[in-house]
Amino acid sequence: MRRELKDRFDLLDPEIKAVCQGYADGLNLYASRHLDQLKRHGWPAKPEDLIAGAMHKLPMMFGMHNDIGRILNNPGPAPQLAAWMNPHQAPIGSNFMAVSPSRSSDDFTRACINSHQPWTGPVAWYEAHLLTEEGQNLYGGLFPGSPVVFLGHNAHMAWGHTVNHPDLVDIFELEMDPEDPLRYRIDDQWLELEQTFATLEIRLWRDIRWKVKREVLHSLYGPALRVGDRVLAVRYAGMDSFRQLEQWFWMGQSTSLEGFKEAMRSQSIAMFNTGYADKEGNLFYAYNAMLPDRNPSYDWQAILPGNTRATLWSKYMPFDQLPQVENPPSGFIQNCNSSPFQTTVGEGNPDPERFSQASGIETWMTNRALRAMELYGDDVSITQEEFFTYKYDKQYSEKSTLRQNIVRFLESSSQEPELVEALDILRQWNGDTSKNNPHAALSLLTFRPNSNTSRGNLSAPDIQDRLKEASSELMKHFGRLDVPWGEVNRLVRGEVDLPLGGGPDTLRAIYGRPSDEGKLAGVAGDCFFQFVQWDDQGQLDAWAIQPFGSHTASDESPHFSDQAGLFAEESLRKIPFTREEVLEVAKRIYRPQDL
């Protein structure tokens, strides 16, 4: 990445170069005054570093590291979950729902930008409001290290992303010359692998470090590595792309649907479903992905022959040909990490027959997507209260794989005396995950759903073993099986310990990690999210919330957990948006260089 980084940076739009320079200057100013907080090797920050960071992180979001790990360790299929950026493998998902004036009881346009990220760590949202004297006014979220907002709203429009899972990585086995470890053949031509050596500094313990050299290979297909006596090359979507931050920058500056689509046509961001709504009442959804134009004669789920240009793709499906929905007759769109072919109700969905299975476009519906369709999709005149309430829905649909798995298990289970009470609780559970529900804890601790319950499937013996384990844990820690869900499902932040409703793959998404006390401490799911609306005159109102507070690192900050109570009670805070509104409620006004 760094080899051509300076030249690539020089090709960027002058505005994004200036933004990167200003961000790097701000980091360096802070660093120069807080030397005790610095990590090794990162300083001084350069604007090119920000471009490199985006180039590096995005392939991790679509799982390229999993494919590399698989070919090194396991020939089986690649897992879909989390990256080094998410070391505890907390589920990552998101929701986006929007309705136009035709589906609102008061002719408002409304959108919910509801990302599900880890609550701490490198991919926890950093909330930001950018208001400049050049006329920019943009509110939203970014990851630390980004100089641009990734999702949010301005006065004219709102947009959000949800993670999608197109097939963007391919592995090729090169045909090597047995006499020369650097020669490989493609068709009737012999080529030379580009070979360099990288020095890696390995931290062994505390400040004890060890430097090693590792071979770095590059082929016509892309990066290559030796695996036993084979050489395998990796090719991934966007591997030569460096304009990710530039695209997000122009998306955030858009003031119309056409301007937003024009920014997306640059196709520098290799993935993410994208939802959009604006003050004119427009709704738009795109299955954003850099889908390779692959030869249909090959099995793209297997390791591919790397000795023919027939497998060497170089083009992508144009943006305007991707699955899209624009202003559907229903006046409603949603995506909850689900199929683009069921974005709305009624007419207006993309035709799945137009898209090759080799692209890996999802056909599943998460429970969140099912419930969004059942709530927003069945209500043709949605009030503001209903729009907000539906987002906090805590129900598993009867159509969900989880509910269907429970029914099948109960039909096939034997009536062991020790499980009579537990089985009765499973039968009584109605799929609700409200705080006071007495049947949710045992059900969810048994079936352990993830962020996509449509893909879960356990055998009856496995479920029975889990039921025994969950029953034992509840009796050990609570002395009963019918424990109210809120006693188990918790928000824990320092001294704060609060009950939560919701659960995995519900619209009120909460993902917890078990503690020694038998509770689940929330670690991901609903995080920083926003509600945005425009009235029939184009007047903007917006609300937001964080699970903890706006300061994610220091427990000495008053904002370490000051929003936890609101979050647990499913309340929101109004966003001050204009300069006058911001200054009216400001606690402190300062210039960083004056500190």
Q: What is the pLDDT of residue 74?
A: 57
Q: What is this structure's pTM?
A: 0.94
Is the pLDDT assigned to residue 409 strictly greater than 90? yes
Q: Which CATH class is domain 406-506?
A: mainly alpha
**Strands 304-305, 169-173: parallel, antiparallel or unpaired by DSSP?**
parallel
Q: Which CATH superfamily is domain 93-165+240-299+308-391 in?
A: Aminohydrolase, N-terminal nucleophile (Ntn) domain (3.60.20.10)
Taking phi over 0 as left and psi of -120 to 50 as alpha, with beta for the rest, 54 belongs to alpha
Q: How far apart are CA 235 and CA 287, in angstroms?
A: 21
pLDDT at position 90, please?
A: 60
Give me the pLDDT at residue 551, please. 83
pLDDT at 593: 81
Higher pLDDT, 595 or 355: 355
For residue 410, name the pLDDT band (cuts at 50, 70, 90): very high
More confident residue, 4 or 242: 242
DSSP-assigned letters across all residues of 429-498 = --SB--TT-SSHHHHHHHH---S-GGG----HHHHHHHHHHHHHHHHHHHS-S---HHHHEEEEETTEEE
Q: Which residues have a Cβ under 8 Å from the Cβ of 30 and sit 6 or more positions away?
A: 592
What is the torsion angle, in degrees rounded to the nearest 10, for the CA atoms of residue 60, residue 66, residue 72 and residue 74?
180
For residue 471, the model assigns a pLDDT of 96
User: Going by DSSP bridges, is the β-strand pair 332-335/93-99 parallel, antiparallel, or unpaired?
Assistant: antiparallel
Q: What's the CA gap between 267 and 45, in Å, rounded?
A: 27
Interval 364-374 mean pLDDT: 97
CB count within 10 Å of CB 154 equals 23
**Of 234-238, 357-361, 388-392, 481-485, the least confident:** 357-361
User: Tens digit of pLDDT for each residue in 535-573?
Assistant: 999 999 999 999 999 887 788 899 999 999 999 999 999
Q: What is the pLDDT of residue 67?
A: 83
pLDDT at residue 80 greater than cutoff 90: no
How far apart are the C-alpha atoms of 116 and 94, rounded to whole Å? 5
Do the two domains 93-165+240-299+308-391 and 406-506 of this chain adopt the same fold?
no
The mean of the pLDDT values for the chain is: 92
pLDDT at residue 76 greater than cutoff 90: no
DSSP 76: S
C-alpha to C-alpha distance for 382 and 98, rounded to whole angstroms: 11
More confident site: 74 or 310:
310
Average of per-residue pLDDT across 225-236: 94
Pairing of strands 489-493, 520-534: parallel
Residue 122's pLDDT is: 86
- The SS3 assignment for 518 reads coil
Give the mean model confidence (pLDDT) for residues 252-269. Answer: 97
408: pLDDT strictly greater than 70: yes
Most confident of 73-82, 357-366, 473-482: 473-482
Q: For 103-161, write each residue's pLDDT tens digit.
A: 999 999 999 999 999 999 888 999 999 999 888 999 999 998 899 999 999 999 999 99
| Confidence grade of residue 91 (pLDDT, cut at 50, 70, 90) | low
The domain locations on the chain are 93-165+240-299+308-391, 406-506
Share of the chain above pLDDT 90, in %: 81
Alpha-carbon distance values, 225 to 176, 215, 229, 378, 475 (Å):
12, 8, 11, 52, 51
Chain segment 293-310, per-residue pLDDT in tens: 999 999 998 999 999 999
**Cα 215 to Cα 344: distance, rounded to the nearest angstrom:** 50
Pairing of strands 151-153, 157-162: antiparallel
Q: Would you state the pLDDT for residue 542?
A: 98
Helices 47-61 and 14-33: crossing angle in degrees, nearest 10, is 100
